[in-house]
Chain A
Amino acid sequence: MTIVLALAITAVALPLIVLLPPLNGFGTQRDFVGGFADAGVFVLLAIGLNVVVGFAGLLDLGYAAFFAIGAYTYAYGASPFSGLDIPFWPMLLVGALVAAMFGVLLGAPTLRLRGDYLAIVTLGFGEIVPVVFLNADTYTRGTNGITGLSQPSLYGIFGINGFGFTDPWPYFLTVLIVIAVAFSFLYRLQDSRVGRAWVAIREDELAAASMGINTITTKLLAFSIGASTSGLAGVFYASKLSIVSPDQFGFTVSFTVLAMVVLGGMGNIWGAAAGAFIVYEIQSQGLKQLGAFVQSLHVPTLALGPVSVNLGAIDFINFQYLLYGLALVLMMLLRPEGLFPSRRRRSELHATPDDAADSADVLVQA
């Protein structure tokens, strides 16, 4: 309940904050709300990946594959290409289920692997899926992608029919509701038996098995829940954009979401969500505004011998991955647990003075 309340407050606060200076100088409220709706997609992706990486400790580098599967599921369910027009709302569930199914399919043979090996296999899967969508063009229209996807509709409830392209509000509210549902589900899960089993597996898989935890099925569950959240995000994303094409789901998406989770705080649902929101807003709004700001300073072109630097002409968006890289390096050096860590993660990364004293104690006893 508190989670839903917190999200409701966020829903009201965010669009209001952007009316205040200096934010109102950067764009209209409508622009911002549209951006928040897109950020919501990444929030969903991040809290889903957080289950896999943060809770169960499985490094998944191909997470975008499930995002793609969710998006294409919607494209098959509601586009002129397939000839079907299944409404958006049930498709949300279908997308989540299909993605979860692929999560199980990929997980079953690979989750016996650990650490680096699992990361490499998931990386491979993440590459394969967009390539299949690219090359199976009879079924996917290849590079052109599938276009004309139906947009969500409320069939006249609250006077809203199709969501359309111009008004971002219905999308913003829809993604908030989906996030709220996902949040309360994931919080319950975290405090459940399964949640504790994940923590045990992350700490020591062998000891977890000795406690009677079926490590394979428990890890598989983390994988498929992560995948289903990604599937939800995919359906929403596809319906908002009304087009899916393979280039939307490359490795950069997997990497970006992982960076969001790491920066926000692995293992903490709010942390991962905040990380996603902050990174997305910096990427989509912040860098653009930074460019405009630097330009407005009218810094004269600096001539350093043969090199001349014109700060005003720099397009900061091109530096996005450089900045990610820098942010990650700094983060790992200064605050490896992320901006908003879970209690457990913090204790894993910062040895308390007690730890040191006690390991000395063990040595004395030995």
Chain B
Amino acid sequence: MTAPTFDAARPTSDSAVVLRMTDVHSYYGNIHALQGISFEVRAGEIVTLLGANGAGKTTTLKTIHGLIHARKGRIEFEGRDITSMPAHEHVGVGIGQSPEGRRIFSRMTVLENLQMGAYTRRDTSTLHEDYRRVFELFPRLEERRDQSGGTLSGGEQQMLAIGRALMTRPKLLLLDEPSMGLSPILVEQIFAIIQDINRQGTTILLVEQNALMALGVADRGYVLQTGRIVRSGEASALLQDEEVRKAYLGG
């Protein structure tokens, strides 16, 4: 693995490892989906996992989040072993996620969705501030706060899924394919907001098929292929990498 160097201009960057995966194997039944994944995410970074369909990107996120349990290997969050932690406890340690396919509560209003994000929060004093923050990042959500989630457009639903995850006050935000099914303009918008969220101090692990966009905002990237990491490095280096260009960036 190449040793990443950090952009000194980024105020939130330091070298503390937030998430470390060590030789993680997971299965769907008998299918060996992750065949020994090792990587790390450091505080303040945006790290992206790239790869084609079925490479194991979503499986990696699900494994981190405890929806699939790793059969082998170790997952650490801020030095704490979370390998077999059940999904609902992740919010408590500071891992928030916007899942694949958004999965917003379509019969709840926008505001109710955000309230669900704050479900485990006891510190009601800062809640209001966080609603403000989400509405500042996504003004569209404020306009539609009393509309039911299912009536939102695809882009708005993606915003809601991210906003809902932010309401958990995550230290690490897992984003699964935020560009899926969105028009290019919306993708640009969403990625700009992802950068804003990162600048405000949230570490981000971003899973994407849209490699060009993802490498554009990320500090570092890992390329997955059939359950293994085949390439890794700084985002700018991966963008130049001949193999990566050929496979994921259309030459």
Seen from chain A, the residues whose Cβ lies within 8 Å of a Cβ on chain B are 193, 196-197, 199-200, 203-204, 206-215, 344, 347-348, 352, 354-355, 358, 361-362, 365-366
Most buried by B among A197, A203, A207, A212: A212
Q: Is B17 an interface residue (CB 8 A)?
A: no
Are B153 and A365 in contact (CB-based, < 8 A)? yes
CA distance A309 to B177 in the complex (A): 68
Q: Decide yes or no whether B233 CB sits under 8 A from chain A.
A: no
Which residues of B in the span 82-106 have a Cβ within 8 Å of any Cβ on A? 86-92, 97, 99, 103-106
Q: How far is the CB of A254 from chain B (nearest CB, A)?
A: 27
Do residues B164 and A211 form an inter-chain contact, with CB atoms below 8 A? yes
- Which residue from A208, A211, A355 sits with its C-beta under 8 Å from B168? A211
Complex Cα distance A213/B112, Å?
A: 15
Contacts of A352 in B (CB 8 A): 151
Chain A residue with minimal CB distance to B65?
A210
Chain A: interface secondary structure? helix
Known: A210-B90, A210-B99. 11 other contacts (CB 8 A): A199-B105, A199-B108, A210-B165, A211-B88, A212-B119, A212-B168, A347-B148, A358-B152, A362-B153, A365-B182, A366-B154
Question: B155, A204: Cβ atoms under 8 Å?
Answer: no
Chain A contacts for B105, CB-based, 8 A: 199-200, 203-204, 207
**B89, B99, B153 interface centre (most CB from chain A within 10 Å):** B153
A206 and B67 contact, CB distance less than 8 A: yes
Give chain B residues whose Cβ lies under 8 Å from the Cβ of A365.
153-155, 181-183, 186
Instruction: State whether B88 touches A355 (Cβ < 8 A).
Output: no
In angstroms, Cα B41 to Cα A43, docked, is: 56
Q: Contacts A193-B119, A347-B148 known; A212 to B90 CB distance under 8 Å?
A: yes
How many angstroms between the C-alpha atoms of A354 and B119 in the bound complex? 28
In the bound complex, what is the Cα–Cα distance between A28 and B107 (angstroms)? 47
**Contact call B119/A196, Cβ cutoff below 8 A:** yes
Give the shortest distance, in Å, between B225 (CB) and chain A (any CB): 26
Check A213 against B154 for contact (C-beta < 8 Å): no
Q: Are B148 and A196 in contact (CB under 8 A)?
A: no
CB neighbours (8 Å) of A213 from chain B are 88, 119-120
Given contacts A196-B119, A206-B99, A207-B104, contact A358 B88 (CB under 8 A): no
**Which B-chain residue is minimally distant from A354 (CB atoms)?**
B151
Q: Which residues from chain B contact A200 at a C-beta distance below 8 Å? A: 105, 108, 116, 119
Known contacts A204-B103, A207-B103; A196 and B116 CB within 8 A of each other: yes
Complex contacts, B119 vs chain A, CB 8 Å: 193, 196-197, 200, 211-213
Instruction: Kindly identify which residue among B103, B112, B150, B152 contacts A206, using a CB–CB cutoff of 8 Å.
Output: B103
* Cβ-neighbour of A209 out of B87, B107, B152 (below 8 A): B87
24 interchain pairs (CB within 8 A)? A196-B112, A196-B119, A199-B105, A199-B107, A199-B108, A200-B105, A200-B108, A203-B105, A206-B103, A207-B99, A209-B86, A210-B87, A210-B103, A211-B88, A211-B119, A211-B168, A212-B88, A212-B89, A214-B86, A214-B88, A344-B107, A362-B153, A362-B181, A365-B154
Q: Hey, which chain A residues are within 8 Å of B116, CB to CB? A: 196, 200, 208, 211
Residues in chain B within 8 A of chain A (CB atoms): 65, 67, 86-92, 97, 99, 103-108, 112, 115-117, 119-120, 148, 150-155, 164-165, 168, 181-183, 186
Whole-angstrom distance from the CB of B182 to the nearest CB of chain A? 6
CA distance A207 to B106 in the complex (A): 11
Q: How far is the CB of A54 from chain B (nearest CB, A)?
A: 14
User: Bound complex: CA of A205 vs CA of B116, how far in Å?
Assistant: 12
Complex Cα–Cα for A340 and B105 (A): 23
* Nearest chain B CB to A341 CB, angstrom units: 13
Q: Which of A208, A209, A214, A348 contacts B67 (CB 8 A)?
A: A209
Contact of A211 among B117, B152, B155, B186 (CB under 8 A): B117
* In the complex with contacts A200-B105, A207-B103, A347-B107, A212-B120 CB distance below 8 A: yes
Q: How far is the CB of A57 from chain B (nearest CB, A)?
A: 11
Closest chain A CB from B126 CB (angstroms)? 16
Please name the residue on chain A nearest to B154 by beta carbon.
A362
- How far, in angstroms, from A12 to B226 measured CA to CA in the complex? 71
Chain B neighbourhood of A215, CB < 8 A: 88
* Bound complex: CA A207 to CA B183 (Å): 25
With a cutoff of 8 Å between Cβ atoms, the chain A residues found around residue B165 in the complex are: 210
Given A207-B104, A211-B168, are A355 and B151 also a contact pair (CB < 8 Å)? yes
Q: Which residues of chain B come closer than 8 Å to A203, judged between CB atoms? A: 105-108
Check if B108 sits within 8 Å of A212, measured CB to CB. Answer: no
Q: Pick the contact of A366 from B106, B108, B181 — CB < 8 Å?
A: B181
